[in-house]
A and B are shown apart, each in its own frame.
Chain A
Amino acid sequence: MGFLKKVSILFLLVCTHTCFAQDKCGYVLVPKGQYPVGKKQHTLNPLRKVTVDSFYIAACETTNRQFAAFVAATGYVTDAEKKHDALVFEPGLREFEWDNDSSAYWRFPNGVDRGGIERKMDHPVTCISYNDALAYCEWAGVRLPTLDEWEIASRAGATTDYFFGAKNTQIDRYANIWHGADHLQADSSDGYMYTAPVGSFQPNAWGVYDIYGNVFEFCSGKVLANESPTLAHARGGSWWCSKASCSFFNSADIGRVNKRASFSNQGFRVVKKAM
């Protein structure tokens, strides 16, 4: 092993330890380098190598507490509050069906009737649009990960579909997902029907939590050069995603959603430049 590589790994370990000594939801350093991303025969994310500069990625998804601080400081009004077009879920809906709830926004991510976030401040913020996530990032002095950065951090060195292997048999240990055969009946078999507090499940080998499940995480960048400017991308699946429907809780698939759409399974994590 080369000297520089050894130093990088040591630096990564020291940094990770330092961050986590204070708070498991600190930042994880991803060293500059060339990484494999994609999957053989994947039409939107083919197997290739990419080179990235060093960056820090948040070990946890951005929480309601963090978003509340942003709103308190700026008076920011989200897309869902302006347009009253948030899409929410309740058991009984058919696959891929969501209800429009005009009362829903980040403080009431599944509508006023289903309660607010007062006791969920450590859950990921949801019911925010891509544009809302960008506004938060600008205020916080951070940014969204690129599609490649997200994937590199999610893989934690693995080249399989999942950071823990080729099959999703261990997904229960690492991700808050939907375990029901469909969405007609509620599923809380892993302890959570909707979001879980960030960091409730085991992290990947680099100490990144909830990279699969909990909420879809917005990323910057395009999949295709000529795609619609109204499109945003998000990755990692969510609490809604089951093995039969969606199954995007992996390191290869890339979702797409309108930049103004606000879903209660949609959130983000941030990155910042390495010093």
Chain B
Amino acid sequence: MIYREAGVFKTSYDADMALLPIPMDKYFVIAVTLFAVIVVPFISNEYWLGSILVPVLILSIAAIGLNILTGYAGQVSLGTGAFMAAGAYMGYKFVTAFPDVNIIFGILAGGVSSAMIGIVFGAPSLRIKGFYLAVTTLAAQFFLIWLFQKQPWFVNYSISGVPTAPPREIFGILVTGAEASATARYVFVVCFTIALAWIARNLVRGRVGRTWMAIRDMDIAAELIGIRPLQTKLSAFAISSFYCGVAGALWAFCYINTVEPSAFDINRSFQILFMVIVGGLGSILGSFLGAAFIFTLPIFLNNFFGVLGLDVSTATIRHIEFMVFGGLIVFFLIVEPHGLARLWALAKEKLRMWPFPY
């Protein structure tokens, strides 16, 4: 009874096919969105905005990207970090080459370059599937990181090899680089996140999303219906890499403030894969839940023992972290492959009836 969908009568397909057809969902999402954009910057402090919310949101974008590829189109990828790096480096090249162009275009240029690289590395997916494809994307991971590290052109021949993110403004407010305030960076990132999440929802419920899922569920039947496997898989790779590229550019410009390869190594790829698995394969909401969960769990564990008054060494906490992570991933794979998003959906289903049994 807390969560109601009874009494909602739709009289047109338009209403039925709205993004959020149930009023309660609609108001809830609008409220959360407004809260995130308007209220949060005022009530949070520098630490929460800059060190937790910004990275969680950026990783959510990357997780949405991987979810499109793995969760919706069914193509396993271990190259997320590399595609993020492509976004970061190409975004950096674009921003430094055209200093007067708005930073938004710089970030998007990173995404577009990454999408093109994604298409190149996605091409083998027509022939190879599953584990073998994962290994191919692993090649992207190692090759691209090597390329960005060894070719000084990508960092404008900077001597350290790790250039700092150039400061850029929107409406006269600094949003990137080390001097930008956490609030400005947060608002910049949250707007990107909301727009990209909305677009992702539209894509996955529309024609292209259905072709992705068709290829994932039964590729032979999909082809017999008239879906072209190569085009469909490449579009998934392109859009997925676009999201990862934007996330990588934002990571470099708005979070770590430098463009460096170590931020996008294989561990990043695995981290995002875990987010998608724990959050829920084939769910946009799950990407957010997974990113928040995986990113904040170590922070929570760090503080948890302190709050309890236990004196646990940092090394032990690191070990516990690994154990908890490993356990959680095995747990989710066995018990709930659809992740936190599925648990959320189940909770909603239960609340429809609660407190009555029927």
Same complex for A and B? Answer no
Binding site for A on B (CB under 8 A): none
